[in-house]
Amino acid sequence: MSGYPTHSDRPRIVKVEESRIETETARTIFFRDEASLKAKPGQFVMVWAMGADEMPMSLAAMNDKGRSAVTVKPWGPGSNLLCSLKSGDVIGVRGPYGNSFTPKKGSVLLVGGGSGVAPLIPLSQTLQEIGAKVTFVLAGKTSGDLMLLGEAKKIISKPPHNLIIVTDDGSAGVKGLAPDAVRSLLGKEVVDQIYSCGPEKMMRMVFDLAEEKRIPVEASLERPMECAIGLCGICAVGKYLLCRDGPILDSQQLKAVSKEFGSNRLDRAGRVVPV
Amino acid sequence: MSGYPTHSDRPRIVKVEESRIETETARTIFFRDEASLKAKPGQFVMVWAMGADEMPMSLAAMNDKGRSAVTVKPWGPGSNLLCSLKSGDVIGVRGPYGNSFTPKKGSVLLVGGGSGVAPLIPLSQTLQEIGAKVTFVLAGKTSGDLMLLGEAKKIISKPPHNLIIVTDDGSAGVKGLAPDAVRSLLGKEVVDQIYSCGPEKMMRMVFDLAEEKRIPVEASLERPMECAIGLCGICAVGKYLLCRDGPILDSQQLKAVSKEFGSNRLDRAGRVVPV
Amino acid sequence: MTKAAPEALTSRKLSVRIAGLTLHAPTMLAAGVVGITTHLLHRALDSGAGAVVTKSIGLQPRESYRNPTVVGVECGYLNAIGLGNPGVEAFSEQLKKLDRGLPIIMSLFGSGPDDFSRMIPILKNTPVKGFELNLSCPHVKGVGVEVGQDPEMVSKVVSLVKRGVKKPVFVKVSPNVDSVVEIAKAAESAGADGITAINTLRAMTIDIETKRPVLSNKFGGLSGSAIRPVAVRCVYEISTSVRIPVIGCGGVSKWSDAVEMLLAGASAVQVGTGLATQGYSVFSGINEGILRYLDEHGFESVEQIVGLSHSF
Amino acid sequence: MTKAAPEALTSRKLSVRIAGLTLHAPTMLAAGVVGITTHLLHRALDSGAGAVVTKSIGLQPRESYRNPTVVGVECGYLNAIGLGNPGVEAFSEQLKKLDRGLPIIMSLFGSGPDDFSRMIPILKNTPVKGFELNLSCPHVKGVGVEVGQDPEMVSKVVSLVKRGVKKPVFVKVSPNVDSVVEIAKAAESAGADGITAINTLRAMTIDIETKRPVLSNKFGGLSGSAIRPVAVRCVYEISTSVRIPVIGCGGVSKWSDAVEMLLAGASAVQVGTGLATQGYSVFSGINEGILRYLDEHGFESVEQIVGLSHSF
Ligand SMILES: Cc1cc2nc3c(=O)[nH]c(=O)nc-3n(C[C@H](O)[C@H](O)[C@H](O)COP(=O)(O)OP(=O)(O)OC[C@H]3O[C@@H](n4cnc5c(N)ncnc54)[C@H](O)[C@@H]3O)c2cc1C
Ligand SMILES: Cc1cc2nc3c(=O)[nH]c(=O)nc-3n(C[C@H](O)[C@H](O)[C@H](O)COP(=O)(O)OP(=O)(O)OC[C@H]3O[C@@H](n4cnc5c(N)ncnc54)[C@H](O)[C@@H]3O)c2cc1C
Ligand SMILES: Cc1cc2nc3c(=O)[nH]c(=O)nc-3n(C[C@H](O)[C@H](O)[C@H](O)COP(=O)(O)O)c2cc1C
Ligand SMILES: Cc1cc2nc3c(=O)[nH]c(=O)nc-3n(C[C@H](O)[C@H](O)[C@H](O)COP(=O)(O)O)c2cc1C
Ligand code: FES
Ligand code: FES
């Protein structure tokens, strides 16, 4: 498509180059976008599913041989449409937006659930590159719900790195919830930093465990978003705008929003509702 | 005055640092303006005489120890106001606009009359710097009407350069009109290039003489201007917009506008009137 | 104010009185921009805003339009959020958790006198310093500018609200009208305490690859630098036509923009889109710049420069 | 056309028919921009414009306002030239020197039906392809938008001119109105052959050092990129409400801007301020870009993309 100047906050139209099956319904969508190539692990883009919605999506890949990707779990009209797209269909992308994880050397623990695994994939790669010892807890309801497992296995391929699979029903890996796995891990090992993304209640439990041990956490939260540039306020978590100050909050910030974190959010009418 | 960003086509407010007496009524106004420092000989700025008018003025100096200057002859409200300003008063300046003279080595002739001497001053300096042999015909009605004479004398101070002063009444230099002096010069000397600025009828006569001898001319014309950026059309000379394609036209262009050059122009109602 | 404020935030020179309210600085948060939670309102105040205006609140809860609701254009942004809001009851409850003294102005919208009458009983107990009537939203049918284009309707709504609440009422006007002055005068006659000028301009953008209007609502409001010259014009025209104060809004993101508005006749300025381009520091940046300007030009107070351009 | 034209200028794909006129390309010179002499009109045609509109001409000669009449703002320009023009008689005489076949459209302004009636006898012999009625100038009292805000007045003027001249008549509308659609419909009912949307937005800028409005007329019209989203919206609204063709104008300086206008429903585009930012090459640049777009998207003609955004 012929290049013409666009505003950085205007959707850029890109072709879906591949839609890879993650679970029965979830897909990882690959596309080519200059600006996404330069994103940092944890940043997100606004993905325009034309005719349906525009949604924030963490980048699951920034530069996989020149392609970027998002992993989408269908919930409503927008994400459903995205998951139904075929190669050659188009989407709009703007961003990348938001802050990014702070990669730390030492012994680090990544805890991802559902589509929350997405931003942890590029992060785990960076962490390995800078010499961290990476433990990755990858959780899903059942074995069929595990996302980006192939990518994770490729990256976390040999010791000292460690990939721990957790399912609610035990159909793959350890049976239980991700926080259970984290509790037992923290009992055995020294962890210098925790990174987490996934269902907010899961992250809250991980955070509370980490607080007991005074282990710093960076958690990537989700909120409805409209503008993604700090205008509409709908992404508020306490005094933070998740689109600009987040999506990643650190332990200090998480403490400051302790009342909201894992409990409630705004809906698209600005009403306070449970997360 | 504190710096804040302005559009390049918006007046920048500058202080008059000095208003130097040129003739009984004409003044050279010095000011400091970043953008004017980088102008080339022949370019002009739009000078805002607040409350009265905004007018095109050739730069008589681009960088005289960090100062730029315009030489103004009073005609109407705008130029009158400019000539009445004192040090510390403010004017607005936008530009520089337009093309510039093409400095050539060899034997060159400059012909300036009235305030038209202004752009020839920085040009003569450049010409000397690149090694041209400069003859400067500086004309005025009487000795009291000669502008920028001091500057000219400073630059054209010794052979092979030559300053020829011409007045209608012979009160200084040679008696006669500038074209007379040019005619006699062209009879005696080889001239490779003529540059001219001043009353248009004078320039036309100089151009016709030069055409006979096939000497290339660059003449800086004057027209009413409104926008100075190629929008309003009021500065039209034939198909040229003097603010963008000019103010300097070369022999080929002058031939193309032969009907208008020295004869007529548009007034501020777009009517064709004599120059 | 919860933190020690830098000089600009505390300088008496910046303080303005508008419609009986004293603001420590003439820089306000514009309606609808982040002002949807008490935390975010508070953060704007902590960042130097002299007052904050809430998101526009209606009688009933209302969801925003489907995304895209915001899109960047060459010189600003289009938005068609759709007046999403939790409804006057829920929002008033939220506000009650805040310190009563804070300079919060509540923005209201409605489809006519009826809506406003029904909100009034709730507004009586809402702990805000004043109200701003959004009679100027360009992208929601039946409310906003469709109300605000009709001088009679403006007059009705303003008198009604003024009778109902005992606090200053500002009327926010739209440039999408034949005569903004006529609307402002109607508001003044009906008892408005001030005019906020302007809301966004009705606008649209189309994606040329897919040929689709980008906003889900197709039409939205243009804000940002693009509209500043229109806003400055409205402020000038209104402030030379009415006696009540005018608050300038539209494309203000730098101190020099704010000074231009003040010179045009605004008693204070609001910042919307500037928050996206500059972040929360936009307030202190503008305040400090204004203070510098006052000092360099020998003024004792920001009130001295309001409307100075009128003398030319 | 006096010169050999590059491919884009001669491609049949670019040709459009509007109100009975055939233009070799959908890119026109906007009214008032350099079109004050026959030479300059001709130069725009030589540079690839499919048609050119003259400066707005009135009954009597009229001087422009004192400078400053044009000033740059962050995202465009303000101008208050003041409708300076040599009067309909002198200008018609000038036009007679030109080749009769050239696609020249003459822009006219007047303070009401009277002015227009008195121009008609002269216009009958003026060698132009059509007329554009400037009922939308935002900065001259009594003409332009003050006429163009009143649907009845629009109707009167249009019927009158249509009866008097046997050529296509376009009506240029202003965004400074309650409803641009209402005005366009009034023009259509009165017999207009097309609508040009839009003229500039009434605006102002103040120099903060001297506190002066920059323009000598204080108020002027905002043009350039800043107004494109407003123009696109007006084109969309009008073209979905009337059956006559719409010509899009406002902030077009790149081919992608032009395509956006066409998709919005414009049958052709006009370029004003783009001439200042891009020079005369703006026309060929846009034409070539449109052609590339048509090829890449598999369209046979520019007419196929007009209004394609309406289907969403
Ligand atoms: C920074 C950020 C990054 C994100 N990254 C991703 C990502 O990589 N992959 C991804 O699939 N999504 C991600 N999301 C979530 C995504 O933006 C959408 O919220 C989600 O896709 C649902 O959108 P929708 O419009 O299809 O559904 P909606 O119409 O918004 O929702 C339909 C229903 O599903 C419920 N629902 C939606 N999302 C969830 C959820 N996460 N948990 C529980 N219930 C939910 C809603 O409450 C509603 O009832 C991210 C969000 C943020 C803020
Ligand atoms: C590129 C360019 C460079 C210029 N440089 C200079 C410069 O360096 N110095 C300078 O003084 N002027 C210069 N001028 C001319 C200047 O812009 C004004 O036209 C002039 O100063 C008169 O402006 P005004 O508004 O005061 O008078 P106006 O109100 O425009 O004119 C008053 C009366 O004087 C007549 N008049 C104005 N100028 C002339 C003239 N040159 N010859 C004969 N009659 C005239 C007018 O026709 C009118 O009758 C330049 C013009 C151009 C286009
Ligand atoms: C995202 C967004 C939401 C807005 N919501 C409202 C609103 O609810 N009520 C209102 O009166 N104005 C609303 N506005 C308009 C602004 O308050 C302001 O009038 C306009 O944006 C112009 O100012 P700016 O250029 O500083 O943004 C909104 C503007 C934006 C950008
Ligand atoms: C310097 C200038 C002069 C103009 N003069 C006229 C005019 O005489 N008649 C008219 O209808 N429009 C006039 N306009 C408006 C333009 O035709 C056009 O509608 C407007 O500038 C928006 O288009 P743009 O953004 O491409 O410039 C003028 C615009 C400019 C910038
Ligand atoms: S999404 Fe709008 S402020 Fe964050
Ligand atoms: S001065 Fe306006 S086009 Fe040259």
Contact at 8 Å (CB) between D232 and C203?
Answer: yes
Give the closest ligand to the alpha carbon of residue D34: 6
Instruction: Please calculate the CA angle C119-C121-C126 and round it to the nearest 5 degrees.
Output: 85
Residues 6+ apart with CB under 8 A from D160: D113, D116, D117, D120
Contact at 8 Å (CB) between A163 and A152?
Answer: yes
Q: Are strands B90-97 and B12-15 parallel, antiparallel or unpaired?
A: antiparallel
Contact at 8 Å (CB) between D11 and D291?
Answer: yes
The radius of gyration of chain D's CA atoms, rounded to the nearest angstrom, is 18
Q: Does the CA dihedral A80-A84-A85-A87 come out positive or negative?
A: positive
Contact at 8 Å (CB) between A173 and A164?
Answer: yes
d(CA A174, CA B260): 92
pLDDT for the residue B113: 94
Alpha helix ranges (H) inside D47-103? 88-95
Q: Contact D211/C78, CB-based, under 8 Å? A: no
- The shortest C-alpha distance from C229 to chain B (Å) reads 13
The radius of gyration of chain B's CA atoms, rounded to the nearest angstrom, is 18
C75–chain A Cβ distance below 8 A for any pair: no
User: Residue B265 is inside which H or E element, if any?
Assistant: strand B264-266
B52–chain D Cβ distance below 8 A for any pair: yes
Residues 6+ apart with CB under 8 A from C246: C184, C194, C195, C196, C197, C235, C238, C239, C265, C266, C267
Q: Which residues of A195-225 are buried (b: 16+ CB within 10 A; e: fewer)?
A: bbbbbbbbbbbbbebbeeeebbbbbbbbbbb
Q: What is the mean pLDDT of residues D82-96?
A: 94
- Using one digit for the tens of pLDDT, what is the confidence trace for D179-199? 999 999 999 999 999 999 999
Q: Please, how many CA atoms are within 13 Å of residue C30, restricted to the half-sphere of its CB?
A: 28
Nearest CB to C40 within list A10, A11, A236: A236
d(CA D123, CA D131): 9
d(CA B252, CA C46): 67
Q: How far is the centre of ligand 6, averaged over its atoms, from the C-alpha of D71 (Å)?
A: 12
Say if residue C68 is preceded by a cis peptide, omega within 30 of 0. Answer: yes
Instruction: Please calculate the CA angle C36-C37-C42 and round it to the nearest 5 degrees.
Output: 115
Q: Contact C178/D213, CB-based, under 8 Å? A: no
Closest by CA to A274, choosing from A200, A174, A217, A216, is A200
pLDDT for the residue A1: 36
In the predicted model, what is the mean pLDDT of chain C? 93
pLDDT for the residue D3: 47
Distance of CA C65 to the CA centre of its chain: 21
Residue recorded with tokens 């002009």: B44
- Using one digit for the tens of pLDDT, what is the confidence trace for C140-173? 777 777 778 899 999 999 999 999 999 999 999 9
- With residues binned 3-state (H G I as helix, E B as strand, rest as coil), the percentages for chain A, rounded to 5, are 25, 35, 40
Domain regions of chain B by residue span:
7-97, 107-274
Sheet holding C70-73, edge to edge: C70-73, C76-79, C219-223, C201-204
Q: How far is the centre of ligand 1, averaged over its atoms, from the C-alpha of C32 (Å)?
A: 24
Report whether pLDDT(D224) > 70.
Answer: yes
Residues in chain D, total: 312
Closest by CA to D119, choosing from D110, D127, D128, is D110
Q: Does any domain span residue D184?
A: yes
- Using one digit for the tens of pLDDT, what is the confidence trace for A125-138? 999 999 999 999 99
pLDDT for the residue D207: 97
Q: Contact B4/C292, CB-based, under 8 Å? A: no
Q: Does any domain span residue C267?
A: yes
The 3-state DSSP class for residue A145 equals helix
The 3-state DSSP class for residue D93 equals helix
Q: Residue C46's CB: how many other CB atoms inside 10 A? A: 16
d(CA C305, CA C295): 12
DSSP annotation string for C1-48: --SPPPHHHH-GGG-EEETTEEESSSEEEPTTSSTTSHHHHHHHHHTT
Report residue A91 as tokens: 């989407």
Report whether pLDDT(C6) > 90.
Answer: no
Instruction: For residue C258, list chain B residues with Cβ-Cβ distance below 8 A.
Output: none
Q: Please, how many CA atoms are within 13 Å of residue A89, restricted to the half-sphere of its CB?
A: 15
Of the two residues C10 and C137, the one the predictor is more confident about is C137
Q: Please, how many CA atoms are within 13 Å of residue C260, restricted to the half-sphere of its CB?
A: 26
d(CA D28, CA B127): 43
Q: What is the mean pLDDT of residues A161-188?
A: 93
Report whether pLDDT(C4) > 50.
Answer: no
Q: Whose CA is nearest to atom 22 of ligand 4?
A: D250
User: Residue A15 is inside which H or E element, if any?
Assistant: strand A12-21
- Using one digit for the tens of pLDDT, what is the confidence trace for A16-29? 999 999 999 999 99
pLDDT for the residue A218: 98
- In the CATH hierarchy, which top-level class contains the domain A107-274? alpha beta
Determine if ligand 4 sits within 6 Å of the CB of residue D31: yes
d(CA B261, CA B137): 21
Contact at 8 Å (CB) between D284 and D4?
Answer: no
- Using one digit for the tens of pLDDT, what is the confidence trace for C241-292? 999 999 999 999 999 999 999 999 999 999 999 999 999 999 999 999 999 9
User: Residue A167 is inside which H or E element, if any?
Assistant: strand A162-167
A4–chain D Cβ distance below 8 A for any pair: yes
Give the neighbours of chain C: at least 3 Cβ pairs within 8 Å: A, B, D
Of the two residues D97 and B87, the one the predictor is more confident about is B87
Give the neighbours of chain B: at least 3 Cβ pairs within 8 Å: C, D
Q: Residue D298's CB: how many other CB atoms inside 10 A? A: 7
Q: Does any domain span residue D251?
A: yes
Instruction: Please calculate the CA angle C172-C173-C175 and round it to the nearest 5 degrees.
Output: 145
**What phi and psi values does residue D76 have, to the nearest 5 degrees?**
165, -150
Give CA separation, C198 vs B205, C223, C276, C302, D39, in Å: 58, 10, 18, 21, 42
CATH label of the domain that carries residue D233: 3.20.20.70
Instruction: Please calculate the CA angle A91-A96-A102 and round it to the nearest 5 degrees.
Output: 140
pLDDT for the residue A6: 58
- The shortest C-alpha distance from C110 to chain A (Å) reads 16
Give the neighbours of chain D: at least 3 Cβ pairs within 8 Å: A, B, C
Report residue B13 as tokens: 């407010």
Say if residue A96 is preceded by a cis peptide, omega within 30 of 0. Answer: yes
Q: Contact A5/D256, CB-based, under 8 Å? A: yes
DSSP annotation string for C301-312: -GGGGTTGGGG-
Residue D139: closest C-alpha in chain C: C233
Residues 6+ apart with CB under 8 A from C217: C65, C69, C80, C82, C139
Q: What is the mean pLDDT of residues C194-209?
A: 97
Q: Contact A51/D312, CB-based, under 8 Å? A: yes
**What phi and psi values does residue D255 have, to the nearest 5 degrees?**
-60, -35
Say if residue A274 is preceded by a cis peptide, omega within 30 of 0. Answer: no
Q: Does any domain span residue D2?
A: no
Find the domain containing C252 and state its range. 7-311
Give CA separation, A61 vs A28, A122, A165, in Å: 10, 6, 21
- Using one digit for the tens of pLDDT, what is the confidence trace for A200-258? 999 999 999 999 999 999 999 999 999 999 999 999 999 999 999 999 999 999 999 99
Helix-helix angle B200-213:B178-188, to 10 degrees: 20
Architecture of domain A7-97: Beta Barrel (2.40)
d(CA A19, CA A60): 13
pLDDT for the residue D213: 98
Report residue A145 as tokens: 């719900």
- Using one digit for the tens of pLDDT, what is the confidence trace for A182-216? 999 999 999 999 999 999 999 999 999 999 999 99
pLDDT for the residue C2: 42
d(CA B111, CA C180): 56
C275–chain A Cβ distance below 8 A for any pair: yes
Report residue C18 as tokens: 């508008």
Report whether pLDDT(D6) > 80.
Answer: no
Question: Checking phi first, is residue C131 left (phi over 0); if not, alpha (psi -120 to 50) or beta?
Answer: beta
d(CA B231, CA D82): 14
Closest by CA to B182, choosing from B109, B123, B132, is B109
d(CA B271, CA A36): 57
d(CA B139, CA B180): 11
Report residue A160 as tokens: 């000292």
DSSP annotation string for A212-271: HHT--EEEE-----SSSSSSS-TTEETTEETTTT-SEEEHHHHHHTTTTTTTEEE-TTS-
Task: Provide the number of structural domains found in chain D.
Answer: 1
Which residues of chain B fall below pLDDT 50? 1-3
The residue of D3, D29, D33, D37 whose CB has the most chain B CBs within 10 angstroms, and thus the best one to mutate to test that interface, is D37
Q: Does any domain span residue D178?
A: yes
Report whether pLDDT(D290) > 80.
Answer: yes
- The shortest C-alpha distance from A248 to chain D (Å) reads 34
Determine if ligand 4 sits within 6 Å of the CB of residue D262: no
Index of the ligand 4 atom closest to the CA of residue B227: 1
Residues 6+ apart with CB under 8 A from A24: A144
